[in-house]
Structure 1
Amino acid sequence: MHARAVAATTTALLGTAALLLPAPDARAGAERPTVIAHRGASAYAPENTLVAVDKAAELGVDWVENDVQRTRDGELVVLHDDNLRRTTDVEEVFPDRAPWKVKDFTAAEIARLDAGGWFGPDYAGARVPTLKQYMDRVELHHQKLLLEIKNPELYPGIEQQTLKVLGNEGWLDEPHLATRLIVQSFSADSVRTVHELKPAVKTGFLGTPPVADLDRYADFADQINPSYGTVSMGYVASVHSVEGPHGKPLEMFVWTVNDANNARLVAGYGVDGIITNTPDVVRDALPAK
């Protein structure tokens, strides 16, 4: 996930002194935040690959986060960027296909790419998984999934398609919907579309909306999930004071916290979850349940 325009609006959103008070070491009686492995355990294995899911499971982390995009022939694949250059060898395999956008390649072409060698020689040969392959691996480990619909403006109808894959894989039954699945996006329209298509799905909006706008987001989002550097104890309390579409207080998962000090800081603010590349470091920094 990227902060995008968050930095430009942070001052306006959180500019009052009351919202910038330092947090205590921990809230009295607070629940321990959920730890979510960002793109899998991406500090230790190539992001958004099956081996990153395996590494999260090896570390004992229940929740993994991923990013979903769509190929030219309509396959949903798990990849963060809208192009293939950073995390695959696409420039070597297809040197004449610049700018190497995901949407310009078929699923079969993407399946040829090495999505692990960039991270380290031990991971050479890892592939970009399809969403179905990724979900099968998450299910194998009995994990939970925070799924981000990435760049939905590039992929009309991706919300309905994502829900179809989730349904085909059995992830829209009551047990999964109750405790094992959240769908999020930086696009409010995309989150709203998911909610309208399948109201039972828990949803999250990625960003830091002004407090005055939280009621509007609460019509379709169960979570407000901002960059950790844009929040404060006051903002977290404001989010928790608003009731979401399922009759419960809005939750907050913050991203991307990779060190013990900031993990303790945001836990003190009262966040509900911490998205991290280093889930073991964050987990070990938090107070025991």
Structure 2
Amino acid sequence: MVVAVLSGLALAATSTTAHAATGPDVIAHRGSSGMAPENTAAAIDLAVRQRADHVEIDVQRTKDGKLVNFHDCTMERTTDIEDLYPDRPGYRVSDFTWNELRRLDAGSWFHDDYAGERIISVDDVIRRIQHTRTGLLAEISPCSQYGTTVATDLADTLRGKPGYVRTALARKQLAVQSFQTDDARTFHTAQPDIPIGILDADRPTDAELVGLSRWADQINPQHTVTDQPLVDRVHQLGMDINVWTVDEPGAIRTMAGLGVDGIITDYPQTLTQR
């Protein structure tokens, strides 16, 4: 199946090779998640080797306060947590300690070759990318149990890495995004120098765009609701626009042609040709 997908993606090569240098940033969705298990070290490292401009990750917090890179609010889909902890009443990330989560297999669901891949921390993600050309787009988890506390914790974590943040900002290699406006505002208040983006599955209204432009740096909509008037309006208001999640070759060509600033994709190699 993967071979078939990549064969189809190769159709985009003619229009995207030149665009990779001068066009949209290539943002690896949960790492290179089309080719490796999402949000694991394998997916992050592969995205770096494929020369993605950024890796997109998902920030959650364990029961004992460790920030980890994991997307779903519960862990059944991509780990063996039910086998390892069969008697637990629930499987939210926030219900387990970091030491408990480190035991999980987060790779076998994807392919046997990735058996034993672990959940990784946000600190580990930063260590893996900070001396590369690949930047970070960190999404604050919208899982309801956290409120705005993950936004505060992420701001504190980045405040504790002044060297990394300073270098990453100078190279335009760091931004944070959220579906929740309250989370985004909380983070922006704590870390106003770090670009903040608003994710949206629906097309934002003009009134929403005008309001957000007073403090947000990015509008990051689903690609299916994105057209030329939206891209132009976001740019007119002084913000960038990154679209998600764009995997089909025709959609990649369309989004690149609209002049979006970044394309979030499971297959970064489609755009980088690596």
TM more than 0.5: yes
Q: How many Å apart are 1:152 and its aligned residue?
A: 5.7
Structure 1 gap ranges (5+): 1-24, 243-248, 285-289
Structure 1 residues 206 and 180, CA, compared in 2 at 3 Å: closer, same or farther?
Answer: same
Q: Does 1:190 align with 2:183?
A: yes
Asked if residue 213 in structure 1 is aligned to residue 208 in structure 2, the reply is yes
2:167 equivalent to 1:175: yes
CA distance in 2 between counterparts of 1:89 and 1:152 reads 21
Provide the aligned C-alpha RMSD in A: 2.0
TM-score of the aligned structures, taking structure 2 as reference length: 0.87
1:42 aligns with 2:33: yes
Deviation at 1:172, TM superposition (A): 5.9
Which one-letter code corresponds to 2:253 in the other structure?
A: R
Of 100, 120, 143, 1:109 maps to 100
> How far apart are the structure 1 equivalents of 2:154 and 2:82?
28
Question: 211, 231, 243: which one pairs with 1:254?
Answer: 243
Aligned to 2:9: none
1: CA distance between counterparts of 2:128 and 2:61? 19
1:274 matched residue in structure 2 = 263
Instruction: Note if contact 1:214-1:239 (Cα within 8 Å) is conserved in structure 2.
Output: yes
Write the letter of the residue equivalent to 1:150.
S
Shift of 1:141: 3.2
**Runs of at least 5 residues in structure 2 that lack an aligned partner in the other structure:** 1-14
Partner residue, 1:21: none
CA distance in 2, matches of 1:128, 1:171: 25
Equivalent of residue 152 in structure 2, options 160, 164, 188: 160
Query: Counterpart of 1:141?
Result: 132
Change (3 A) 1:95 1:152: closer
TM-superposed CA distance for 1:270, in Å, is 1.4
- Looking at structure 2, the residues matched to 107 and 257 of structure 1 have their Cα atoms a distance apart, in angstroms, of 32
TM-superposition CA deviations, 1:122-169 (whole Å, max 9, x none): 111111001111111122434200000012642242212112212223
2: CA distance, partners of 1:183 / 1:76: 14
Is the Cα–Cα contact under 8 Å of residues 90 and 113 in structure 1 kept in the other structure? yes
Conservation of the 8 A alpha-carbon contact between 2:141 and 2:150: no
Hey, what's the Cα distance between the residues in 2 that align with 1:234 and 1:171?
A: 39
For residue 233 of structure 2, what is the amino acid of its counterpart? S
> How high is the sequence identity, in percent, across the aligned residues?
41
- Give 1 or 2: higher helix fraction: 2
Change (3 A) 1:193 1:146: same
Q: Which runs of 4+ in 1 moved over 6 A?
A: none
| 1:203 counterpart = 2:192 | no
Return the offset for 1:171. 5.7
**Cα pair distance change 1:147/1:86, threshold 3 Å:** same
Q: CA deviation at 1:259?
A: 2.2
Tell me the CA shift for residue 254 of structure 1: 0.1
How many residues of Structure 1 are paired with residues of Structure 2 in the alignment? 252
Structure 2 letter corresponding to 1:133: D
User: 1: CA distance between counterparts of 2:223 and 2:253?
Assistant: 12
Q: What is the CA–CA distance in structure 1 between the aligned matches of 2:260 and 2:135, rounded to whole Å? A: 19
Structure 1 pair 140/115, CA: closer, same or farther in 2 (3 Å)?
farther
Instruction: Write the distance in 1 (CA, Å) between the matches of 2:184 and 2:246.
Output: 23
Take 1:171 and 1:56, find their aligned partners in 2: how far apart are those partners?
23
Letter of the aligned partner of 1:193 in structure 2? T
